[in-house]
Homo-oligomer: A and B are copies of this chain.
Amino acid sequence: MVAIMTDTSDLLIRPATADDLPAIVTMLADDPLGATRESPDDLTPYRAAYATIAADPHQHLVVAERAGRVVGTLQLTVVPGLSRRGATRTIIEAVRIHADERGAGLGTDLVEWAVTTSRGLGATLVQLTSDASRTDAHRFYERLGFTASHLGFKLAL
């Protein structure tokens, strides 16, 4: 896991612990798409997945904490590759902001943390996919300098 970063507004972005799982899963489920995909009443699959994430040094699962309360989360994955002259890229997944904090800049803080951390890890490219229905998210990422240059394809197994 990477270094903890604080800013002046009492916000702490830190590695997630197993104790954060109830708060994280509640945020994953409090979402138009997540509502049908998640099971906040049964944390068993999440505990198993957390153990796998925590054991992988290339996964950086963080939470944003304000005044002792978990209010955001994001997962950053480091992917080494051959293309683009051996570029390392990072992938942002599972960005969630607590309902009480939406529109207040926390998403920007989290993504900026991910970008800064990616640079520190030697990555030259940060990428993410966003469901086509999340038009507010698209504008958000474009404001942060991301370009919607690609289509994102998924295949459920």
Q: Give A contacts to B, CB under 8 Å.
A: 21, 24-25, 28, 34, 37-39, 45-50, 52-53, 56, 58-59, 61, 75, 77, 79-88, 91, 93-94, 115, 118-119, 123-132, 138, 141-142, 144-157
Q: B155 contacts A129, CB within 8 Å?
A: no
For this chain, the copies found in one complex come to 2
Q: B88 contacts A49, CB within 8 Å?
A: yes
The A interface, classified by DSSP as helix, strand, loop or mixed, is mixed
Tell me which residues across on chain B come within 8 A of A82, comparing CB atoms: 21, 24-25, 28, 46, 49-50, 53, 61, 75, 94
When C-beta atoms are compared, the residue in chain B nearest to A42 turns out to be B85
Cβ 8 A contact of A58, one of B25, B58, B88, B144: B58
| A123 CB → nearest B CB, Å | 6
Cβ 8 A contact of A79, one of B47, B59, B84, B138: B59
Cβ 8 A contact of A126, one of B84, B147, B154: B154
List 11 additional contacts besides A129-B153, A148-B152; criterion CB under 8 Å.
Answer: A25-B82, A37-B83, A38-B83, A39-B85, A46-B82, A49-B81, A56-B80, A125-B154, A127-B154, A145-B155, A150-B153
